Structure 1
């Protein structure tokens, strides 16, 4: 028999199976009576706690939905399978499952890193589920290609995967500092290193290979939702050229290049990121 957790959504009582809460570490917070829902989706090596500073700016006026991607955070470790999760569309199915179970329509997705592409794939499959997408540090392809700068060569990826295999925890410590930048705030790099180190090394390697070898470029022109692309400077994972590429290939998109170092503005510059999000939320379609 299923157990249920009760949430009051739009004055209706929703019976949410506890199994789903346990699967994704699903949380519904903020103003449960609000008309608009924000769904926060995290990137590789982090979890929903990475949004803790940003979400506070929206807790009074928006319903907030947070979850952990399978394979990360406090999601059910038994739910991960390297065979099942060998493509980003599986994660998109997870996102759509959450939206459908909560019976949500026209949500705003605030997605970081790989969850940006997951969100795009989900929105293409069910456009009515999303009103707007806010993509932070997004990349449709990390591997360089002819006339495309993704930021990584095949040799770069080979070295990355070999380093993860040889000594995962040493790799996590080094990579976290470079990805976070903000060297004057070493605690941020240490936080990312901590969440990376909580992943099972074999799971982390499997997920990293899926992410860094993915190519979602052909999907971009089919996205019809309104999109804000937030691009950071000196992002080791996503060169500035990638943000411009996304803007060129997503029809209803706006590009905002922010003066923030590193890949994690939700941690290093949450106030600036919150203002950017709020401004886009208030724009008329």
Structure 2
């Protein structure tokens, strides 16, 4: 298996620098990191990739069985790290990838030595004593809409997820990214994402961790960031002066600065 081709792996920055792995969220691909990579690549070896089913990945490698759980995506991460022989890399996961990183770090602790969680949510559905931001009915309706008309759902939801209505080009970019994903694959990834519950997994994290939240985020509200921070002993919580769920696009300088500050603290 050619993992580099399967996951469309790209590498930037100095060969001998500390390694940072950037992982995208649902409906996206590695292009979402393009405004952050140059700042990181000045000092760090930066690895980006596409999950199978996204971007330039090998679609023939996709299977319903593997990618109907977050563990399947975590296996992708571990296999990319093994292929590149990464040791103690810093895994930067956006949105659902924050939880995928938790699973990958647990499966291969020798490969991942620290986590950066960008707009993370261990559970999207509210529960007793927990506010994920959505009721079970909200998520049922979201998934029903997505499954019945994926392109229409994308055009409606992407601007909401992105926020920043004064910058419509950002919402359009996310819409285009969603629409470039095969609808059948997107339906499976969406169910895997929005029905997940990683609260117990988060409590197992023992590596240095940065929780990076936005001041306003319709998908991962502020209380969720506080929950993740409280669940991980010694973690650092940083609230960006940013709106929306994709700060790497809406506030790339602040996002890169927060990540670099955390990376420097590790050394």
Match of 2:65, SS state, is coil
Structure 2 residue 10 is matched with structure 1 residue 27: yes
Partner of 1:221: 203
Aligned counterpart for 1:231 among listed residues 185, 206, 213: 213
DSSP-derived class of the 1:134 partner: strand
Contact 2:105 2:113 in 1 (8 A): no
Cα displacement string for residues 57-78 of structure 1 (whole angstroms, at most 9, x for unaligned residues):
0212111111001121111111
**C-alpha distance in structure 2 between counterparts of 1:142 and 1:70, whole Å:** 23
Aligned length: 267
- Where does residue 229 of structure 2 map in the other structure? 247
CA displacement, residues 13-71 of structure 1 (integer Å, 9 cap, x when unaligned): xxxx7x2222001112211132x011010011110011001010021211111100112
Structure 1 CA distance for aligned equivalents of residues 217 and 64 of structure 2:
28
> Match of 1:106?
88
* Structure of larger gyration radius: 1
- Partner Cα distance (2:123, 2:63) in 1: 23
Aligned residues of 1:124 and 1:224 also touching (Cα < 8 A): no
TM-score normalised over the length of structure 1: 0.91
Question: Secondary structure of the residue that 1:117 maps to in structure 2?
Answer: helix
Deviations 1:92-151 (A, max 9, x none): 111011111111101111110111000011111222212221110101111111110011
* C-alpha distance in 1 between matches for 2:167 and 2:266: 37
RMSD: 1.2
Distance 2:119 2:162 in 1: 12
Shift of 1:284: 4.1
**Other-structure match for 2:25:** 43
Give the gaps of 5 or more residues in structure 1. Answer: 1-16
**Structure 1 residue runs of 4+, over 2 Å off?**
none
Structure 2 unaligned regions, length at least 5:
none
Q: Give 3-state SS (helix, strand or coil) of 2:54's partner.
A: coil
| 1:60-79 equivalence runs, <5 A | 60-79=42-61
Quote how far apart the aligned CAs of 1:266 are.
0.3
Secondary structure at the residue paired with 2:158?
Answer: helix
